[in-house]
Amino acid sequence: MKRNHSILVVDDEKTIADGLRLTLESEGYGVRTAGSVREALTAVLQGDSHAAIVDLMLPDGDGLHLTRELKRRDPAIEVIVITAYGSVRKAMEATRSRSTPTSSWASSRTRSSTGSLSARTRTSSAGSSSR
């Protein structure tokens, strides 16, 4: 049952976060929203999220760092990283330009992870999670 699954939406653009929340709620999911890394970590402490949709660029950090922290706290959580940038290259350049500690990690993983992400997405959407 979807109602037993909670999704954390993290985006500093309120209209994007609200749009995702409304769409997911209409599909029967419980949804929490956060506009920053700090708010997201607080929301995780307040409830069990089965999945997270995380914006790459947040006002107090980046989505890659948040993704690693979410996975550290709960290795079973599924995380989708979204961005308004038109390509992975532009998103990684934007991340690097903010001089975040994850920039070199993100840059080195871009080539190897983009193909596997689409394969995992197809696999995940084909089956249902037992969480």
Task: Give how far Cα 17 sits from Cα of 20, 23, 51, 75, 99, Å.
Answer: 5, 10, 15, 24, 25
Residue 27: which domain range? 2-87
Q: What is the CATH number of the domain that holds 59?
A: 3.40.50.2300
Query: For the chain, what is the mean pLDDT?
Result: 75
Q: What letter represents residue 9's amino acid?
A: V
> Residue 119: is its pLDDT beyond 60?
no
1 — pLDDT class (breaks 50, 70, 90): very low
pTM of the model: 0.68
Segment 1-22 mean pLDDT: 90
The DSSP letter of residue 2 is: G
d(CA 65, CA 123): 25
Q: Does residue 38 sit within a domain? A: yes
Question: Is 110 part of any domain?
Answer: no
pLDDT tens figures, 53-99: 999 989 999 898 999 999 999 999 999 999 887 777 776 666 665 54
Per-residue pLDDT band at 107 (split at 50, 70, 90): very low
Q: Could you tell me if residue 116 is inside a domain? A: no
Spatial neighbors of 65 by CB under 8 A, at least 6 apart, are 37, 100, 101, 102
Tell me, yes or no, whether 43 lies in a domain. yes
* Phi-psi group of 38: left, alpha or beta (phi > 0 → left; psi -120 to 50 → alpha; rest → beta): alpha
118: in domain: no
* Counted domains in the chain: 1
pLDDT at 22: 97
| 32 located within any domain | yes
Residue 129 lies in a domain: no
